[in-house]
Structure 1
Amino acid sequence: MTDNPGIAERRARAGSWFIAAAIAVAGLCYSSWVLEFALPIDVDSVNTFLSELDAEGKPYREIFSTADKIVGALLIPAAIGGLLLFPRRALTTVGWIALLCFGASTIADVLMPLHDCAPGEDCGGGLFPQLHQPHALTSTLAVTSIAVAVFAFTLAAYRYHRWRILREAGVVILVVGASATVWMLVADNLTGDYALGIAQRIQVGSMSLWLIALAAAVVLEAREWTEPVVPCSDHG
């Protein structure tokens, strides 16, 4: 016995709403850093990285670390749901897997926070800062994963003529995020202060906006995918 097509359609739409809600909430939680402007936190937003907010021993660390845990806890099942619900295509499959990796890396980021350097310990940057603190490695994995997800879904939007929102707003967000990343990579290797904190906040803010755009795209994609196709009659 097969399921009624109407029941299958309702299940697909309900699943898409769950996935979209999880991604949207994750996007909002990933922007928890804006609370630094509301809480009594002594931090230089222009020149310090966001990792300082939930570093070991920092006040209000639990607020920011909990928000990041929620991000990972929501994105992992959302990505798996996206893989199972939507038709399998190469680029979107890469995108969903990269989103899952981003969620896992965000949780790892929390479990391995930035720590203060012990006397005599080398915590410098250099070409491979991952060798100095595990947190640098997890942060690199997180940023790389979501960059792959953004790029894969953007290409998919153009190649498959689907995911319309990501073809329109997604490209703008991609350009803004990529520009902030280049700003950080170049300025980090120069002497002097180049507002790296602002660059990272623009980068992370663009990630949050993209997640919300992806959530909206999931709802629209599921709606178009489950809409019944009305056959066109051919008249001469």
Structure 2
Amino acid sequence: MTDSQKIAERRVRVASLVIAAAILIAGVCYSSWLLEFVLKIDVDPVNSFLSELDAEGRPYRAVFATADKIVGVLLLPAAIGGLLLFPRRRFTTIGWVALFCFGAATIADVLLPLKDCTAGDNACGGGSELFPQLHQPHALSSTIAVTSIAIATFAFSLAAFRYHRWRILREAGLVVLVVGSAATVWMLVADNLPGNYALGIAQRIQVGSMSLWLVTLAAAVILEGREWIDPSD
């Protein structure tokens, strides 16, 4: 290997570490909702959406909003870096683009905060629904965020099996994907049934799985960097 090749490889590895660090920090920040069990917040975790933590007028909105901003700010360049640095294959390209969309939608979540809904608040749906927040613009950005990271998770998982690489994504990542998918099905089914089915718990499992998957993706970039830069299939 020539000196120029060694320098190029070293640069790629440094860039990989930077990308992995950004994804790792984003994954940790996306789990900031765990602070609801430490801070004095009047929110029922069984029957509330996590968006209520940084809703307008909430006492600790700045804490959770800042964490979400960090997630988006870190994932945008990380996704672009991953798309430019690593070999462009169909599934990984979809994954990086979806990850970029997730980062952008997370920032939009902060810019379009949930209104601090109370019973009978007509602006939030009149209190006739179990989750009147769904009638707010914030629901659109949240839906885009969840859909984007779901696409990213499936795309990278398919890539791991298709290209026979990134063992951590094939194993740990697959477990996280199954758990998150189960929580999503729980939410979709329960939200259309009469009664209360602890949708707050389901969403916390769903979002928790997203954080764990981001950490898993970061680990894949760090631990298996050689496979990321190997252009062969």
TM-score (ref. length: structure 2): 0.91
Q: Unpaired runs of 5+ in structure 2?
A: none
Q: How many angstroms does 1:162 deviate by?
A: 1.6
The structure-2 alpha-carbon separation of the partners of 1:219 and 1:207, relative to structure 1 and needing over 3 Å to count, comes to same
Q: How many angstroms does 1:218 deviate by?
A: 0.9
Larger Rg: 1
Is the 2:157–2:169 Cα contact (8 Å) retained in structure 1? yes
Q: How many angstroms does 1:3 deviate by?
A: 7.3
Does 2:40 correspond to 1:40?
yes
Work out the CA distance in 2 between the residues paired with 1:125 and 1:221: 47
Is the 2:20–2:221 Cα contact (8 Å) retained in structure 1? yes
Work out the CA distance in 2 between the residues paired with 1:54 and 1:25: 20
Name the Cα RMSD after superposition. Answer: 2.2
Look up the equivalent residue of 2:159 and give its one-letter code: A
Can you list the C-alpha shifts for 1:184-208, whole angstroms capped at 9, x where unaligned?
0111111111111100000000000
| Correspondence 1:1-236 to 2 at 5 A | 4-116=4-116, 120-121=122-123, 123=125, 132-225=135-228
The structure-2 alpha-carbon separation of the partners of 1:191 and 1:138, relative to structure 1 and needing over 3 Å to count, comes to same
Work out the CA distance in 1 between the residues paired with 2:14 and 2:42: 44
Can you list the C-alpha shifts for 1:106-140, whole angstroms capped at 9, x where unaligned?
000000011145854462669xx86x311000000
Look up the equivalent residue of 1:14 and give its one-letter code: V
Work out the CA distance in 1 between the residues paired with 2:75 and 2:228: 22
Q: Which moved more, 1:198-207 or 1:115-124?
A: 115-124
Partner SS, residue 87 of structure 1: coil
Q: Report how many aligned residue pairs link the two structures.
A: 225
Q: How many angstroms does 1:225 deviate by?
A: 4.7
Partner SS, residue 51 of structure 2: helix
Work out the CA distance in 2 between the residues paired with 1:170 and 1:135: 29
Look up the equivalent residue of 2:21 and give its one-letter code: A
Partner SS, residue 75 of structure 2: helix
Structure 1: 4+ residue segments shifted above 6 A: none
Work out the CA distance in 2 between the residues paired with 1:67 and 1:158: 32
Q: How many angstroms does 1:183 deviate by?
A: 0.4
Work out the CA distance in 2 between the residues paired with 1:11 and 1:74: 20
The structure-2 alpha-carbon separation of the partners of 1:84 and 1:180, relative to structure 1 and needing over 3 Å to count, comes to same
Identity rate of aligned residues, in percent?
73
Is the 2:124–2:136 Cα contact (8 Å) retained in structure 1? no
Can you list the C-alpha shifts for 1:53-89, whole angstroms capped at 9, x where unaligned?
0000001000000000000000000000001111110
Q: Unpaired runs of 5+ in structure 1?
A: 230-236
Partner SS, residue 47 of structure 2: coil
TM-score (ref. length: structure 1): 0.90
